[in-house]
């Protein structure tokens, strides 16, 4: 039995805006074990990033969590004190952002950004570090992220680095304080495909070496396939399906998952891939039952009334759909 | 960016700007109606005296000749004589400029300190009670004219509560420190007259606070807006998610990118308050440069008008160079562009 690292139970979250509440997360269920690699896929605007930011407690100020728990090693992050949250951020969990250019403060040298992260992530664990020790740690982290000439990079401003280098710098930053869990929010999406591939490989190697768990959010279904053990599929604020990577790609159960796979362009024939008809629901007034119902080819009367819950289909394959109950 | 060549380049540009400014103000001051010689001597003076003065001021020569005469003299450091004070204009400048400069410096210190503090606190806690109070203050501070503040302060602090002196630079029981820099607070410190320094300092408070109110309102508002804007940026979320303490994020990672627009506005305000302080100087009876310039205008004291405009213009150009250097220092993106240009 693997040790459970993080578990999200029934997370509901609304965004308060001028016109009212956007009911975004609608009972998210998620878990990840120690050392496990988990992928998270779904359309844009499904709440993937919102879920991850709930874990880091870095939600925008208009976000309201109405129900649910996020248990990290058995302790609820949502009710933890600010000190405990800071300690988690400094030592246990870290996050890589989608756009490395936006994630690096443009008016500071890389060294300054690094030294604060190192200083505070180490302060809680042991004694204070000297300047030289901090620099040494920064150089080590940059080297680990396969960046050449780390001493020079530390003296650079983000504007002086290429997109791929910035992403590697972000990864290096995340390595410092991610002893248990690394959340990668579409790393490399803004880069070209060859660099994206390099970045994903690098991430895969790093977590393998360190035994860190990783949550990889991605639009690149192919990239997820090669890297992770299990994949969650998210739609409109719900997890709709989870399975071991191979099972999911060979035997998708939820209609949304199979539709999602059809959207992937193929190199050999087939022409332009199909898009999923319709669009994600309006979060002001989402469908009462299953949120995918209005777009689903297999919709049944019950789908409009009740929200389906995860049903175990064996071998860690779970699906939230009335077709299987 | 290499600093010295950059400054040299900017100074060279400023010389051209100042030359243009001098031609403009020279022409304007001479084409507006009214005979400066007649104004200087008064309505009772005989015509021959007026004619004599006109000849002495070269007012009968064509404009370009007049300008060239003025320019060659000015380059030699001779800005002509004031027909009101009957002294060389340069002496008037040396007397009056430092007094205003002192006020401008003091009010700049006040406005930087307060606007950074208020703006940062309001920006970090957008829509809180404090933030709403700051917004109200900003609107009032920007929209209420300076002279209203001046009169209110005079009335409350000077008359009702009698907390601070209201007029002049020094109370009568103190002797004026000798003229060394012209800034009385510094002169008093140089000669070691602590009593005079404190008394002069008290005299400075009301005029400089009046001068800084609209600036604080404006600067705090700009800083607040910048911080609210940048608070949404990924790099702030990123720093937060690495467990960097909130105060450090606010005053380091959020402040530095947000303060840049405020710095450029501030440069404008500093140079503006040098030329536009005549209302404050008049109300608080402060013998400063703004008041001097205003008197020159009203009396059509040609040499004094041109001198005061040129001094304010040069001050403006200098402050702007300093501001641009500060901004380039704060923002590497601007520095890199300058280097490649």
pLDDT band at B338 (very low <50, low <70, confident <90, very high): low
Candidates B228, B235, B243, B249: best to mutate against A (most CBs of A within 10 A) is B243
A121 part of a folded domain? yes
Secondary structure class of A240 (helix, strand, coil): strand
Secondary structure class of A305 (helix, strand, coil): coil
Q: Which helix (H) or strand (E) element contains residue B220? A: helix B194-231
CB contact under 8 A, A58 and B240: yes
The yes-or-no verdict on residue B138 having pLDDT over 90 is: yes
Candidates B238, B239, B256: best to mutate against A (most CBs of A within 10 A) is B238
- Check residue B253 and report its DSSP letter: I
A319 part of a folded domain? no
- Average pLDDT in the B69-80 region? 90
What the block records as the tokens of B160 is 């009702």
Determine whether A306 is exposed, middle or buried from the number of CB atoms within 10 Å of its CB (0-12, 13-18, 19+).
Answer: exposed
CA–CA min distance A120, chain B (Å): 6
Residues of chain A contacting residue B252, judged by C-beta atoms under 8 Å apart: 116
Predicted confidence at residue B239, as pLDDT, reads 93
CA–CA min distance B332, chain A (Å): 6
d(CA A281, CA B330): 44
Give the nearest partner residue to B330 out of A97, A99, A107, using CB atoms: A107
A325 part of a folded domain? no
Instruction: Phi first, then psi: give them for residue B255, nearest 5 degrees.
Output: -65, -45
Give every strand in the sheet of A20-33, ordered side by side: A20-33, A4-17, A63-72, A75-76
Q: Which residues does residue A6 pair with via DSSP β-bridges, in sequence order?
A: A32, A72
d(CA B293, CA B278): 8
Determine whether A69 is exposed, middle or buried from the number of CB atoms within 10 Å of its CB (0-12, 13-18, 19+).
Answer: middle
Residues of chain B contacting residue A56, judged by C-beta atoms under 8 Å apart: 240-241
Do residues A157 and A101 make contact, with C-beta atoms less than 8 angstroms apart? no
Query: Considering only CA atoms, which of A239, A238, A214 is closest in space to residue A224?
Result: A214
- Check residue A275 and report its DSSP letter: P
User: What residues of chain A have any CB closer than 8 angstroms to a CB in chain B?
Assistant: 53, 56, 58, 60-61, 86-91, 94-95, 97-99, 102-108, 113, 116-117, 120-121, 124, 157, 159-160, 170, 173, 176-177
Torsion of CA A174, A177, A183, A188, to 10 degrees: 0
CATH number at residue A244: 3.40.50.300
What the block records as the tokens of B132 is 């709403």
What is the distance in angstroms between the CA of the first residue and the CA of the last residue of chain B? 10
Do residues B262 and B327 make contact, with C-beta atoms less than 8 angstroms apart? no
pLDDT (tens digit per residue) in B1-13: 577 888 888 899 9
Query: Considering only CA atoms, which of A295, A285, A312, A244 is closest in space to residue A26?
Result: A285
Determine whether A170 is exposed, middle or buried from the number of CB atoms within 10 Å of its CB (0-12, 13-18, 19+).
Answer: buried
d(CA B239, CA B301): 60
Write down the residue that tokens 């040129």 correspond to.
B310
Instruction: Phi first, then psi: give them for residue A66, nearest 5 degrees.
Output: -95, -25
What is the distance in angstroms between the CA of the first residue and the CA of the last residue of chain A? 27
Residues of chain B contacting residue A179, judged by C-beta atoms under 8 Å apart: none
Write down the residue that tokens 């500093």 correspond to.
B270
Q: Which CATH class is domain B96-293?
A: mainly alpha
d(CA B237, CA A286): 28
Determine whether B261 is exposed, middle or buried from the number of CB atoms within 10 Å of its CB (0-12, 13-18, 19+).
Answer: middle
Overall domain count for chain A: 1
Q: List, for chain A, all residue ranges whose pLDDT scores fall below the cut of 70.
A: 1, 122-127, 269-271
A251: how many CB neighbours lie within 10 A of its CB? 12
Predicted confidence at residue B202, as pLDDT, reads 93
Q: Which helix (H) or strand (E) element contains residue B9? A: helix B3-31
d(CA B72, CA B192): 42
- Average pLDDT in the B38-63 region? 86
Segments in chain A forming alpha helices (H): 48-56, 82-91, 100-103, 110-123, 131-144, 150-154, 163-176, 193-210, 221-227, 245-250, 255-262
The string of DSSP codes covering A83-139 is HHHHHHHHHTEEEE-S-HHHHS-TTS-HHHHHHHHHHHHHHTTSSPPPHHHHHHHHH
A168: how many CB neighbours lie within 10 A of its CB? 25
A312: how many CB neighbours lie within 10 A of its CB? 10
Predicted confidence at residue B177, as pLDDT, reads 87
- Between vectors from CA A15 to CA A79 and to CA B234, what angle results, nearest 5°? 80
Predicted confidence at residue A123, as pLDDT, reads 54
Predicted confidence at residue B15, as pLDDT, reads 92
Secondary structure class of B181 (helix, strand, coil): coil
Distances (CA, A) of B68 to A304, B63, B72, B170: 90, 9, 6, 42
d(CA A160, CA A198): 21
Do residues A123 and A176 make contact, with C-beta atoms less than 8 angstroms apart? no
Domain coverage including residue A105: 4-284+299-314
pLDDT (tens digit per residue) in B243-296: 899 889 999 999 999 999 999 999 999 988 887 788 899 899 999 998 999 989
Task: Kindly provide the residue ranges of all beta strands, DSSP E only, lying in B86-234, ordered along the sequence.
Answer: none
The pairing of beta strand A181-185 with beta strand A230-235: unpaired
Question: Hey, CA dihedral for B298, B303, B309, B315, is it positive or negative?
Answer: negative
Write down the residue that tokens 């200083």 correspond to.
A119
A321 part of a folded domain? no
d(CA B120, CA B292): 38
Could you tell me the residue ranges of all domains in chain B? 96-293
Give the nearest partner residue to A99 out of B234, B243, B256, using CB atoms: B234
Query: Considering only CA atoms, which of B287, B306, B228 is closest in space to residue B261?
Result: B228
What the block records as the tokens of B180 is 């060394």
Secondary structure class of A323 (helix, strand, coil): helix
- Between vectors from CA A127 to CA B238 and to CA A181, what angle results, nearest 5°? 40
Residues of chain A contacting residue B244, judged by C-beta atoms under 8 Å apart: 116-117, 120
d(CA A175, CA B313): 54
CB contact under 8 A, A107 and B256: yes
The yes-or-no verdict on residue B300 having pLDDT over 90 is: no
Give the nearest partner residue to B238 out of A60, A97, A107, using CB atoms: A97
Give the nearest partner residue to B253 out of A105, A120, A159, using CB atoms: A105
Do residues A213 and A207 make contact, with C-beta atoms less than 8 angstroms apart? yes
- Between vectors from CA A122 to CA A119 and to CA A126, what angle results, nearest 5°? 130
A275 part of a folded domain? yes
pLDDT band at B341 (very low <50, low <70, confident <90, very high): very low
Predicted confidence at residue A223, as pLDDT, reads 75
A244: how many CB neighbours lie within 10 A of its CB? 15
CB contact under 8 A, B256 and A90: no
Q: Which residue has the higher pLDDT, A268 or B146?
A: B146
Q: Which residues does residue A28 pair with via DSSP β-bridges, in sequence order?
A: A11
């Amino acid at each position: 039995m693997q040790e459970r690292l993080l578990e999200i139970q029934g997370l509901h979250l609304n965004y308060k805006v001028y016109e009212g509440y956007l009911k975004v997360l609608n009972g998210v269920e998620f878990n990840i074990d120690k050392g496990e690699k988990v992928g998270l896929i779904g359309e844009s605007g499904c709440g993937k990033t919102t879920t991850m930011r709930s874990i880091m407690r870095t939600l925008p100020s208009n976000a309201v969590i109405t129900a649910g728990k996020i248990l990290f090693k058995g302790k609820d992050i949502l009710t933890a004190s600010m000190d405990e949250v800071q300690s988690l951020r400094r030592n246990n969990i870290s996050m890589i952002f989608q756009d490395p250019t936006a994630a690096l403060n443009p008016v500071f040298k890389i060294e300054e950004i690094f030294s604060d992260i190192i200083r505070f992530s180490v302060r809680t664990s042991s004694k204070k570090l000297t300047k030289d020790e901090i620099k040494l740690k920064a150089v080590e982290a940059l080297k680990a992220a396969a960046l050449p000439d780390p001493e020079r990079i530390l003296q650079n401003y983000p504007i002086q680095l290429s997109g791929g280098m910035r992403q590697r710098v972000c990864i290096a930053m995340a390595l410092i304080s991610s002893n248990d869990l690394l959340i990668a929010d579409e790393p490399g999406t803004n880069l070209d495909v060859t660099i994206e591939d390099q970045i994903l490989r690098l991430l895969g190697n790093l977590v393998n070496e360190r035994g860190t768990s990783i949550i990889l959010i991605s639009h690149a279904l192919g990239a997820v396939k090669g890297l992770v053990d299990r994949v969650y599929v998210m739609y409109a604020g719900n997890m709709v399906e989870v399975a071991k990577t191979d099972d999911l790609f060979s035997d998708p159960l939820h209609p949304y998952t199979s539709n999602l796979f059809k959207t992937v362009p193929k190199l050999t024939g087939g022409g332009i891939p199909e898009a999923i008809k319709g669009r994600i629901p309006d979060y002001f007034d989402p469908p009462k039952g299953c949120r995918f119902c209005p777009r689903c080819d297999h919709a049944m009367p019950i789908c409009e009334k009740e929200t389906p819950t995860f049903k175990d289909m064996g071998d860690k394959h779970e699906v939230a759909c009335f077709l299987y109950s | 960016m290499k600093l010295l060549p950059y400054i040299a380049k900017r100074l060279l540009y400023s010389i051209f700007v100042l030359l243009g400014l001098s031609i403009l103000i020279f022409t304007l001051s001479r084409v507006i109606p009214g005979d400066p010689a007649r104004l200087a001597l008064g309505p009772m003076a005989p015509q021959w005296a007026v004619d004599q003065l006109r000849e002495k001021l070269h007012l009968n020569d064509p404009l370009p000749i007049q300008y060239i005469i003025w320019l060659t003299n000015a380059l030699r450091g001779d800005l002509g004589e004031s027909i009101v004070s009957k002294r060389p204009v340069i002496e008037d400048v040396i007397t009056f400029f430092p007094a205003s400069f002192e006020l401008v410096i003091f009010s700049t210190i006040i406005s930087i300190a307060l606007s950074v503090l208020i703006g940062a606190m309001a920006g970090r806690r957008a829509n809180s009670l404090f933030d709403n109070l700051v917004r109200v203050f900003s609107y009032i501070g920007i929209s209420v004219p300076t002279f209203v503040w001046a009169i209110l302060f005079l009335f409350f602090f000077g008359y009702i509560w009698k907390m601070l002196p209201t007029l002049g630079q020094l109370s009568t029981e103190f002797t004026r420190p000798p003229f060394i820099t012209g800034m009385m607070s510094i002169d008093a410190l140089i000669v070691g007259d602590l009593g005079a320094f404190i008394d002069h300092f008290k005299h400075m408070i009301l005029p400089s606070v009046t001068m800084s109110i609209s600036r604080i309102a404006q600067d705090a508002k700009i800083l607040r807006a910048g911080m609210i804007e940048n608070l949404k940026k990924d790099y702030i979320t990123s720093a937060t998610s690495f467990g960097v303490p909130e105060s450090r994020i606010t005053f380091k990672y959020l402040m530095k990118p947000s303060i840049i627009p405020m710095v450029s506005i501030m440069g404008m305000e500093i140079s503006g308050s040098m030329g536009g302080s005549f209302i404050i100087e008049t109300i608080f009876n402060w013998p400063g440069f703004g008041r001097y310039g205003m008197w020159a205008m009203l009396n059509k004291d040609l040499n004094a008008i041109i001198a005061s405009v040129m001094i304010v213009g040069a001050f403006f150009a200098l402050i702007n160079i300093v501001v641009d250097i500060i901004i380039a220092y704060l923002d590497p993106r601007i520095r890199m562009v300058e280097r490649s240009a």
